[in-house]
């Protein structure tokens, strides 16, 4: 069962485990995903995608139960009215205690399995991440990440760009000994599409 933090006739807020796709992949062995499990768990209602988390990222994610709510939440994302906070354990130490990483991101179209993204100032899509250092422990740092855009692999690529790849990242820090990608969507804050009240949810990381 997928842990559910909030559910009404309009919206679902759930906790995605690491290692589970948000939506089905193209291959037959990639059909198991968060969306399909929620469809079984909530068979009496629609489960409509609003945003995604990478397969190896854990944490909070929203789904809508009506097309109207799906559209409303989508516009909140577009207008940056939804506040998201991530926690990550990274190798090394960022250059400052807090800062902004402004690095346009582009996909490497020469490979798809797994996909790879990189900083490309000339042809990349705009991507901005704020970060704050929470604590340091020897060779590692725990950071809080605030994405201002929502590009694929944004947080992973941005931390790599400052010399601090995320622990356990199978693409950008392969073979580092991490048991899982240490990236977790810890908090999400948004406005209910119908009730108009602000909702704020948090789930601490398990690393």
Residues 26-59 have pLDDT tens digits of 888 889 999 999 999 999 999 999 999 999 999 9
The domain spans of the chain are: 4-202
Which of the residues 46, 54, 134, 176 is marked catalytic? 54
pLDDT at residue 12 greater than cutoff 90: yes
113 pLDDT band (50/70/90 cuts)? confident
| 4-202 is classed CATH 3.30.2350.10 | yes
The pTM for the full model equals 0.95
pLDDT at residue 25 greater than cutoff 90: no
Residue 43 pLDDT = 94
Per-residue pLDDT of 143-155, as tens digits, reads 999 999 999 999 9
Per-residue pLDDT of 72-91, as tens digits, reads 999 999 999 999 999 999 99
Helix then strand then coil, in percent of the chain rounded to 5, is 15, 40, 45
Residue 142 pLDDT = 98
Is 54 labeled as catalytic in the residue annotation?
yes
């Amino acid at each position: 069962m997928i842990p559910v933090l909030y559910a009404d006739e309009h919206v679902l807020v759930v906790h995605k485990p690491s290692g589970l796709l948000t939506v089905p992949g193209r291959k037959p062995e990639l059909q198991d995903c968060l969306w399909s499990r929620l469809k079984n768990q909530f068979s009496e209602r629609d489960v409509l995608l609003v945003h995604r988390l990478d397969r190896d990222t854990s944490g909070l994610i929203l789904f809508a139960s009506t097309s109207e709510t799906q559209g409303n939440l989508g516009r909140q994302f577009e207008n940056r009215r939804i506040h998201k906070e991530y926690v990550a354990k990274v190798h090394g130490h960022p250059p400052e205690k807090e800062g902004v990483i402004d690095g346009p991101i582009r996909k490497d179209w020469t490979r798809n399995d797994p996909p790879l993204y990189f900083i490309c100032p000339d042809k990349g899509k705009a991507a901005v991440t704020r970060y704050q250092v929470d604590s340091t422990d020897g060779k590692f740092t725990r950071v809080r990440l605030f994405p201002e855009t929502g590009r694929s692999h944004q947080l992973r690529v941005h931390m790599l760009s400052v010399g601090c790849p995320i622990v356990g990242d199978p693409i950008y820090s392969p073979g580092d000994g991490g048991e899982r990608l240490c990236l977790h969507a810890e908090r999400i804050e948004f406005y209910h599409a119908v009730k108009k009240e602000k909702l704020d949810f948090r789930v601490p990381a398990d690393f």
